Structure 1
Amino acid sequence: MREDEVRFDRAFQEIAESRMLQADVVREALCEALVSAYRKDTNASKAQRIEAEIDPKRGRPTIYVEKEVVDEIVSPHTEVTLEDARFFEPEAQVGDVIMVRVEKTTKNFGRIAAQAAKQVILQRIRQAERENLFQEYDQKTGEIVTATVQSVTPAAITLSLNSRAEAVMPRAQQIPGEKFRPGDKVRVLVSDVKKSSRSPQIVVSRAHRNMLKRLLEYEVPEIYNGQVEIKNIAREAGGRSKVAVVALMDNIDPVGACVGIKGNRIQNIVKELHGEKIDVIEWSSDHEEFIKKALNPAQARAVFLDDDPDSGRTAVVLVPDDHLSQAIGREGQNARLAAKLTHWRIDIKAVSEAVAQALEQIDAGNADLDPVVQRLGATVADVRRIMEKKAANLTVQPEEYSTLARFAEAVETHLLGLRIQSRQARLAEINALRATLPQPAFQIPVEKLDLPEPLLDALAPLENVGEILLRFLIDEKRINRLLSGQPEGSVEMLQVALDKVMDPEALEQLAAAETEAAEMVEAQEAEASAAPVEAAPEAPVAAPVPSPIVAFPDEIPAGDRRRVRKEARAEAEPVLEIEEDDDVLPAKGKKGKKGKKKHRQIYFDEDRGEMVVRRQHRGGPGATWDDDFE
């Protein structure tokens, strides 16, 4: 290899390595620069085809120009004689247009042509660098990276990701109360990457819920290895977060795995997030049980699930008076996070408040409560006596408070049954419309739609594509309510995304993929549970019959079936079967508000009966609580 060839090869490799570019990209930039320089040097027309090649071994450039074959040359830059043409194309004829190699070398280019070549090379290399940066960080979207603070302004923080890339953390994506100085190292989540005329616009966040998800994956090996799954996260950055987790293998405590010994794992995350409180909750397919756990640290007495086809899913929760403030939380934070985590609208009532409302309705002559009064005649008198005693600030015994709680549960259960009965005609109409929709659409989760994450979060209560289509048919106003806080044009974006998914071929493929994934999960769970069943010598305990709660039941609603069973059991057993209760005497609490509503929501399992302390194992609905963390 000659000395000039060695110099070219070294220079070529140096450019590629220093700019972190592929050799082909640099070679294409050089070829484009040669073409530009030749056009400048010869004033060639843009319509004239010009190509350049570089020998990868020797580094020698070659330029080819499109010329017309003629008998006599008038313009040397666009014409070539037949004799010269046949050197390149043996079968060339006069009038043909062929590519001819230019004999002059780049050493003959003038200053202007050389300057043009330099500009083209720099432009192409910068463009390739921008594209590489975009591809690199676009692949890191949703991942945590370490950055260095460059500058801090009231609107945003500018960070350096490396020597070639910068990122911006807007104020809305910062944890309230955190302070940074230039030079500080900080871990951030890459939330968005967009192309721009200059370098890529990289937006990072510390307030995004996926920041918490990634930190849990780093700190908890069981999550990283797939033994524990994060089902959903509700987060208010800097204040409190709730994380729902479930074990995918037997003999694993999902909450204990996340918290760690003496809380060391979760404390590491709390420190990273500026002291943010984190509640780790075990996910349950039983909506009642899950909502109870989501309201921790408050203890819910009963949950009543009301799945209305028009107004949506509402859970009415009864809590002891002394737990009301805990259930609501500071400025409604606990109830708000529980609603986000469970995808149920939650109405929270104190027991004494629910009893007072029931007595008011009875005194007002509400005929709906006549059956309750007839069944619980003596109990109603006891309830009035206890409420008068409470109003006089006299001591209420725990057993008396239990009587109030059971009465409130009986009233809520009865009213829920009436609401379910009243909507039977509406449910029949909805089921008829449901049958007209493609059934595979009901197997496709909402997160499969090509929509921004805020829209997916807003649509999460509908759970699948089929339910969204059904809402458009029966109650488009609810779609508008769900998207009320989203940017303009969100409904149109949703319709476009639905059109893409509803392509028959795409619909079948997505539904088949979801079905296959569900079957694999069921098979794995069956294999995991097979060994303990075979090893157990005792007779197996009969599993409880599940009572699924669905948005649009195909038959009689589960809540109604439970009410029928409850009434049948009530006829065979004493109405007031008093059992030992663990409730303590409540302190005098104040009623709180959540938003504009006086109450909050969750659901009461009627399988226990309105007069019996619920201690039996409950079957849970089969609905999932997956949440796209993409």
Structure 2
Amino acid sequence: MNTEFLEALRDLEKEKGIAVDVLLEAIEAALLSAYKRNFGSLQNARVHIDRETGDFKVYSQRTVVEDVEDERLEISLEDARRIDPRFNLGDVVEDEVTPRNFGRIAAQTAKQVVVQRIREAERNIIFEEFANREGDILTGVVQRIENKNVYIELGKTEAILTPSEQMPGENYQHGERLKTYIVEVKKTTKGPQILVSRTHPGLLKRLFEMEVPELQEGVVELKSIAREAGYRSKIAVYSKDENVDPVGACVGPKGMRVQNIVNELNGEKIDIIKWNPDPSKYVASSLSPAKVVAVEVWEDEKVARVIVPDYQLSLAIGKEGQNARLAAKLTGWKIDIKSESQMADLYPEYSEEGQTDFDDYADEYTDEYSYEEDASPILPDDLSYEDNK
């Protein structure tokens, strides 16, 4: 080793951000291990690299004791003071024992250590870059598919899309560009592991934020999301500005904004409704596209009974209960749906007389936009809910 080697280490410090002292300490530790391995030394030893010249030396270390039991590890006080009168019991005496042919081993070891540290530094840089992007969208290229796991190339690293995070019915092809949501970034011995999702509620949220400027600016708020990936989604939006229509902003001119999101999600149906601080109106809107006649709420239990016209009952419940289930996820309320005839059977006083105003009532409660293109619902992490029974 020489000054050129030290200069190379300083260049690496500037380029990769690895301190020279850290590299030299790692090289010293590796050289010590190589010395013991190649020369069968059982004695205590130390390797020192001169920070100015790059020269290295190996020193044996023996502790000063009164009675010597192992000459490789210990030295008597009398012998130590022959070397230097200042030695006392417990001190360590060092003797240079650098082997003549140790230079080649040192060079190989130093190279291995430097290469390893460079790899670790690059992995740390990648980890820090993507760890700060958890909860964000990234676009990558499908590199390969192994054991149903889809590996997505992201420049110097790759992300893993596991089967549980893949949307039903999607087929991924090599070279296909794909938008995914970063769920988690882990540190492993082989470098950072980036786990992504196509089913996470956050994916829909980020897609709307990318497409709708009003969401980015804070003019429109996305209050809640419910999603069953690949099938249907519901989102609730709100604006404090009375002059801004939050639903229209998300739909976009001629439906282009929501259409772009539907295309990205391969035809997932998306219902966009207006959030309302009044629970009864919010619950009624959440059952879009069904029309609601009346809503009765029990706020302490967070339970709502919704009455719909007989011909709207199946639409309100949805296929296999999907619409009602998503409404429950979206609002955080348990929703009990009854038709008018069911209510009449349960409560005889529920007569035909008061139903003349139901159409007006329904118009008051339904303020939503349903985009039918095949969709799936999204549930935010901070939303607790009960499914409709």
TM-score of the alignment, normalized to the shorter chain, above 0.5: yes
Which residue of structure 2 aligns with residue 29 of structure 1?
Answer: 26
- Equivalent position to 1:246, from 224, 238, 241: 238
Change (3 A) 1:251 1:32: farther
Give the drift of 1:321: 2.2
In the alignment, which of 181, 185, 194 is matched to residue 189 of structure 1?
181
Mark the CA change 1:401 to 1:257 in structure 2 (over 3 Å): closer, same or farther. Answer: same
Change (3 A) 1:269 1:456: closer
Distance 2:48 2:332 in 1: 61
Q: Cα offset for 1:15?
A: 8.7
Query: What is the TM-score normalised by the length of structure 2?
Result: 0.77
Structure 2 residue ranges without an equivalent (≥5): 360-378
Q: Deviation of residue 69 (structure 1)?
A: 4.5
Alpha carbons 2:59, 2:98 under 8 Å: kept: no
Give matches, 1:409-558, under 5 Å: 460-461=384-385
8 Å contact kept, 1:36–1:120: no
| 1:68 maps to 2:79 | no
Change (3 A) 1:318 1:121: same
CA 1:297 to 1:38, structure 2 compared with 1: closer, same or farther past 3 Å?
Answer: same
Taking the aligned partners of 2:37 and 2:172, their CA distance within structure 1 comes to: 52
Specify the alignment match of 1:109 in structure 2.
102
More strand per residue: 2
Amino acid at match of 1:402: Q
- CA RMSD of superposed structures (Å): 4.0
Name 1:433's counterpart in structure 2.
Answer: none
Task: Kindly state the Cα deviation for residue 168 of structure 1 after the two structures are TM-superposed.
Answer: 1.5
Task: Quote the Cα distance in structure 2 between the aligned partners of 1:346 and 1:49.
Answer: 75
Query: Structure 1, unaligned stretches of length 5 or more?
Result: 87-91, 360-371, 373-378, 384-399, 407-453, 462-481, 483-593, 598-630
* 1:352 and 2:341 are equivalent in the alignment: yes
**Equivalent residues in 2 for 1:57-456, closer than 5 Å:** 59-61=54-56, 66-69=61-64, 81-82=80-81, 92-98=86-92, 100=94, 102=96, 104=98, 108-109=101-102, 119-153=112-146, 155-163=148-156, 165-248=157-240, 251-307=243-299, 312-359=301-348, 372=349, 380=351, 383=352, 402=355
* Structure 2 Cα separation of the partners of residues 201 and 14 of structure 1: 25
How many Å separate the matches in 1 of 2:263 and 2:184? 25
- Report the residue type matching 1:33 in the other structure: A
TM-score norm. by structure 1 comes to 0.50
Contact 2:45/2:58, CA 8 A, preserved across alignment: no
Contact 1:319–1:351, Cα closer than 8 Å, also in 2: yes
The structure whose residues are more often helix, as a share, is 1
How many pairs are equivalent?
A: 366
Q: Deviation per CA, 1:97-146, whole angstroms, max 9, x where unpaired?
A: 348585848x7416666655555555555455444444433222211122
Q: SS of the residue aligned with 2:191?
A: coil
* 1:404 Cα offset (Å): 10
Amino acid at match of 1:176: P
Q: Secondary structure at the match of 1:460?
A: coil
* Residues 254-290 of structure 1 deviation map (CA, whole Å, 9 limit, x = unaligned): 2233222222222222222112222222222211111
Structure 1 residue 340: Cα displacement: 0.3
CA–CA distance in 2 between the matches of 1:157 and 1:289?
A: 43
Letter of the structure 2 residue corresponding to residue 329 of structure 1: G
CA positional deviation for 1:41? 4.9
